[in-house]
Chain A
Amino acid sequence: MGYVFQFGTVWQEHDRLLLGAWLTLRLSAITMVLGLAVGILGAVGRSSRSRVVRAIVHGYVEAVRNTPFLVQLLLVYLGLPSLGLRLTPDQAALLAMVVNLGAYATEIVRAGIEAVPSGQIEAGRALGLRPHQIFRFVVLLPALRTVFPALGSQFILVMLASSVVSVISAEELTAVTDTIIARNFRSFEFYLVATGLYLAMSLAFQGVFALIDRILFHRWSTHT
């Protein structure tokens, strides 16, 4: 017992912790953009006329959703070099996160696309829109608007999961925290503060997504 908490040392390291938080935010933001792009492509592939394409996308989604992110990460970082693809920890972390988010985003976007009534598409055709215009304006944008809350929660989950990439020493908050602890052994204090930073970031993302939802999507619906 008799443990004396020393949060003074935490304050000494606050600039490094904040840098770690910034790295996590950056990694997560890039993942969100790329993962959503993969998700849209996947959702398109999932509704493809080709049975092979559908099966490949389905296999990808099921494989990712039914295996742990940590194993996916280790497979990318340690396994891919034996296939001739050598990645730095940061590249491997980003790739694994995008592959992971892409699978969940595929399912979410697909659900949104399926929720678009077929009458809308027929109406688009009747207005003489080209197929790519129909896809973009009649199917994809309304679909994204419908599923935006679900996408937002998934984005936050991927940000939280990013702490796992510290095991391959990719640069982010948990890895930075680990490095600090390796020097001063104040594990509990530093992990507690890092946890607080993660909580703050997920609440901030929640707020930003709610704002985007309100401004971007609801303003549209009042205009149209």
Chain B
Amino acid sequence: MIREFTLGEAWFLVEAVRWTVLLAALAFVGGSVMGLMIAVLRISKRPPLRAAAIVYIKVFQGTPLLMQLYLVYFGANLLGLQANAWLAAALGLTFYTSAFLGEIWRGCIQAVPRGQWDGAQALALGPLLGLRLVILPQALRIAIPPTVGFMVQVLKGTSLASIIGFTELTRAAQMVNNATFRPFIVYGLVALLYFLLCWPLSAYSRRLERQLDPVHLAPKKLAVQ
């Protein structure tokens, strides 16, 4: 039976935004923690650690996010965990986010002048303490614009969770479309909702980048799909 597309359906879509935002937030928090570890491993003095981080980044940046989600989804199943779209989507997006943030932040850490490391050493700070107290606070400043920019990629990436059955905005759109069969209105509205989430972040990231530009040479922002 075909229903009309009414305000009720539109509101259902607007409400589904919260799952998209929640999933993106989970992925971003998890991805930040892991991403920082990847970035630190990536600049480690020990070649095996560095190599492991490089392989991790290459694999996650060189394969489709959809495949990563499938593998986590079916892989969890093999490990005896019940196939759970929530878990798979959050975990898969976390891995994906960590690889990109790890690489972005490595660039930011390495953009801090070498003299600062020497300074930290002169203050008798060990490598980890020097990283935390001297390097990271300075790297943070240049890391903010590309990081905010990447949040847009995470938000857009959550749409793929709909394919493994996680009900967020895109999946809600499929449900509404199946009931009303008004694809142009449904997906048009959904595109608008994504745009309203992403565009302010994009604009904010660009503004921050411009503010920083004369002071620092910000690392080239990765143009991601």
Give chain A's interface residues, CB within 8 Å of chain B. Answer: 1, 3, 62-63, 65-72, 74-75, 78-83, 100, 104, 107-108, 150, 153-154, 156-158, 160-164, 166-167, 174, 187-188, 191-192, 194-195, 198-199, 202-203
Q: Give the chain A neighbours of B223 by CB distance below 8 A.
A: 104, 107-108, 150, 153-154, 157
Contact B198 A67 (CB under 8 A): yes
Contact B225 A199 (CB under 8 A): no
Sample 27 A-B pairs with CB under 8 A, ordered by A number: A63-B191, A66-B198, A68-B157, A69-B159, A70-B160, A70-B163, A70-B170, A71-B187, A74-B173, A75-B188, A79-B184, A79-B187, A79-B188, A82-B182, A100-B225, A107-B223, A156-B62, A157-B224, A164-B66, A164-B160, A166-B66, A167-B163, A174-B67, A188-B71, A188-B77, A194-B67, A195-B63
B137 at the A interface (CB under 8 A): no
Known: A62-B202, A83-B184. A104 touches B225 (CB 8 A): yes
Contact B64 A198 (CB under 8 A): yes
Q: Give the chain A neighbours of B162 by CB distance below 8 A.
A: 70
CA distance A72 to B220 in the complex (A): 26
Known: A187-B74, A203-B62. A66 touches B160 (CB 8 A): no
CA distance A72 to B182 in the complex (A): 15
Q: How many residues of B contact A (CB 8 A)?
A: 45
Q: Which residues from 133 to 161 on chain B have a C-beta closer than 8 Å to any C-beta of chain A?
A: 152, 156-160
Q: Give the chain A neighbours of B195 by CB distance below 8 A.
A: 62-63, 66-67
Q: Give the chain B neighbours of A71 by CB distance below 8 A.
A: 159, 170, 173, 187, 190-191, 194
Question: Which of B63, B77, B160 neighbours the largest number of chain A CB atoms within 10 Å of its CB?
Answer: B63
CA distance A108 to B223 in the complex (A): 9
Chain A: minimal CB distance from B118 (Å): 32
Chain A: minimal CB distance from B149 (Å): 10
Q: Give the chain B neighbours of A158 by CB distance below 8 A.
A: 225
Q: Give the chain B neighbours of A108 by CB distance below 8 A.
A: 223
Q: Give the chain B neighbours of A161 by CB distance below 8 A.
A: 64, 225
Chain A: minimal CB distance from B210 (Å): 14
Chain A: minimal CB distance from B147 (Å): 17
B204 at the A interface (CB under 8 A): no
B12 at the A interface (CB under 8 A): no
B80 at the A interface (CB under 8 A): yes
Closest to A205 in B: B62
B59 at the A interface (CB under 8 A): yes
Contact A191 B71 (CB under 8 A): yes
A82's partner among B68, B71, B158, B183 (CB-CB below 8 A) is B183
Contact A66 B152 (CB under 8 A): yes
Closest to A3 in B: B78
Q: Give the chain B neighbours of A162 by CB distance below 8 A.
A: 64
CA distance A13 to B79 in the complex (A): 25
Chain B: minimal CB distance from A144 (Å): 15
Q: Give the chain A neighbours of B59 by CB distance below 8 A.
A: 199
Contact A69 B225 (CB under 8 A): yes
CA distance A164 to B67 in the complex (A): 9
Q: Give the chain B neighbours of A167 by CB distance below 8 A.
A: 163
